[in-house]
Amino acid sequence: MYVAADARGRGIGKRLLEAVIASAEQHGVWTLQGATFPENTASIRLQLACGFRIVGRRERIAQHNGRWRDTVLTERRSSVIGVTDSKLATPSG
């Protein structure tokens, strides 16, 4: 998700990400994942503030503008999905 440069710093990104999280939980989605360019520290900080955690880094995953790029991988596990859904709360054999 991208916020236009002239709209940044107004909390729009946080409201959008919070809406995505709420919708995911309403629809039973347990895990959200992100892949962010490492230098996009504002986005990474936003994700961390919304309950995401950094789970890894993919090196040289794709070219962007002719340059090989890494991405920082993030994920957010729902605190409500899986807790009340017995099928998600226990591993299937």
Domain boundaries, the chain: 5-89
Q: What is the CATH number of domain 5-89?
A: 3.40.630.30
- Distance between CA atoms of 52 and 45, rounded to whole angstroms? 9
* pLDDT, tens digit, 9 for 90 and up, residues 36-73: 999 999 999 999 999 999 999 999 998 999 999 999 99
Count CB neighbours of 57 within 10 A: 12
pLDDT at position 84 over 60 = no
- Distance between CA atoms of 34 and 52, rounded to whole angstroms? 9
**Can you give the pLDDT at residue 86?**
52
pTM of the predicted structure, to 2 decimals: 0.80
Q: What's the mean pLDDT in 11-19?
A: 94
Tokens 């895990």 correspond to 31
**Can you give the pLDDT at residue 79?**
86
Q: What's the mean pLDDT in 5-14?
A: 90
